[in-house]
Amino acid sequence: MNFSTSVQMARSALDEMSATGAFVRTPSTFRSFISKDPNSPFPAEAGRYHLYVSYACPWASRCLVYLKIKGLDKAISFSSVKPIWGRTKDNDDHMGWIFPALDDEEPGAEPDTLNGAKSIRDLYELASSNYSGKYTVPVLWDKKLKTIVNNESEEIIRMFNTEFIDITENAALDLYPPHLQGQINEVNDWVYDGINNGVYRCGFAKKQEPYDEAITKLYEALDKCEEILSQQRYLCGNALTEADIRLFVTVIRFDEVYAVHFKCNKKLLREYPNVFNYTKDIYQVPGVSSTVNMEHIKKHYYGSHPSINPFGIIPHGPNIDYSTPHDRDRFSK
């Protein structure tokens, strides 16, 4: 079992800064795997695992999308924290994800009935006595061993795709089929770099140069998506894959948040007809819309980064309705 932890990591995304003023993301720490092998330390079992998310977080949301579209949400429970970061301890000033104390405190967020934790930080401290990295969501929790299995969404979605094969209600949906894995990996690389992490590199840059570099890369990658999606329904052909879920969680936040809060305003997402309609298409896949809580998303970003938005004002617009008709049916599935 790998419970190893690193002791010199950033405490929050806002600290992840290089000397040049560029945002540099630190790696996740808990990297164990749930396996379909019943003799493995973390076997795939219905009822054993819990997924802690924030509806605001794109990385956590991609896990939640998998839970829904693979039909795993009866076998794996989940709950969301409150959208706005708060003090996680009385005796220091760390700000992070916290649970509501009461059921009706914040629609969508629930108190932690599993562990009685007040914050995501509490969970990391329950799982490891010497952890000092960031207290990030998603957290995939093992109720039996009372520990964190994994806190890296990229790996969690792979487990959800294949390891719960006898438990999932939609086993036929393979989002990482062997014949497309090379292509999916290749797309993931530039989409992560340019778009998923790219928007953060724009938003968290503290100097002009790293911002300029990030925004150039972001729009090169978005232009590339527009070009690909003008010819086929999804990023890797005419079937939905992991690459699409990974892009979706960023583009769904783009016009509501990133365009304003992270200064990604060279072009709005709705000015890209193919990417925009594609975003609606994926939003309308059964189960996906339930993972998009725009109120949590907007409250979180505009309210949790005082160095970017000191007064926490939440812009009113644009309130795009992603459930309206799209034109993606023009490509055969």
Query: Residues at the annotated binding site?
Result: 97, 134-137, 152-153
Please say whether the beta carbons of 35 and 152 come within 8 A: no
Rounded to whole angstroms, the Cα distance separating 149 from 141 reads 6
Is residue 29 a contact residue for ligand GSH (CB under 6 A)? Answer: no
Provide the residue type at 1 as one letter. Answer: M
Euclidean distance between CA atoms 30 and 47, whole angstroms: 21
Amino acid at 183: Q
Binding flag, residue 119, ligand GSH (CB under 6 A): no
Q: Give the rounded distance of the alpha carbon of 125 from its chain centre.
A: 22
> Closer to ligand GSH at the Cβ: 13 or 294?
13
User: In the range 42-61, which residues lie near ligand GSH by CB under 6 A?
Assistant: 57, 59
Contact residue for ligand GSH among 55, 124, 135, 254 (CB under 6 A):
135
- Given 73, 142, 152, 242, the residue binding ligand GSH (CB under 6 A): 152
Q: Does 13 bind ligand GSH (CB under 6 A)?
A: yes
Minimum CB distance to ligand GSH, residue 233 (Å): 26
Q: Is 203 in the site for ligand GSH (CB under 6 A)?
A: no
Determine if 138 is a binding residue for ligand GSH (CB under 6 A). yes
Q: Give dist(CA 240, CA 278) in Å, integer.
A: 11
Give the Å distances, CA to CA, from 301 to 32, 61, 169, 253, 293: 30, 15, 34, 10, 13
Nearer to ligand GSH, 189 or 329 (CB): 189
CA-nearest of 136, 266, 264 to 203 is 264
Is residue 57 annotated as part of the catalytic site, yes or no?
yes
User: Residues annotated as binding site for glutathione?
Assistant: 97, 134-137, 152-153
Is the CB of residue 106 less than 8 Å from the CB of residue 100?
Answer: yes
Other C-beta atoms lying within 10 Å of the C-beta of residue 73: 18
11/126 Cα distance (integer angstroms): 17
Catalytic, out of 49, 52, 55, 57:
57
Q: Is 12 in the site for ligand GSH (CB under 6 A)?
A: yes
Among the listed ranges 128-136, 160-168, 181-189, 284-292, the one in contact with ligand GSH (CB under 6 A) is: 128-136
Report helix, strand or coil for 115.
Answer: coil
Binding status of residue 191 toward ligand GSH by CB under 6 A? no
Q: Is residue 136 a contact residue for ligand GSH (CB under 6 A)? A: yes
The verdict on whether 124 is a catalytic residue reads no
Residues with catalytic roles: 57, 200
- By CB under 6 A, name the binding residues for ligand GSH: 12-13, 28, 57, 59, 96, 134-138, 151-154
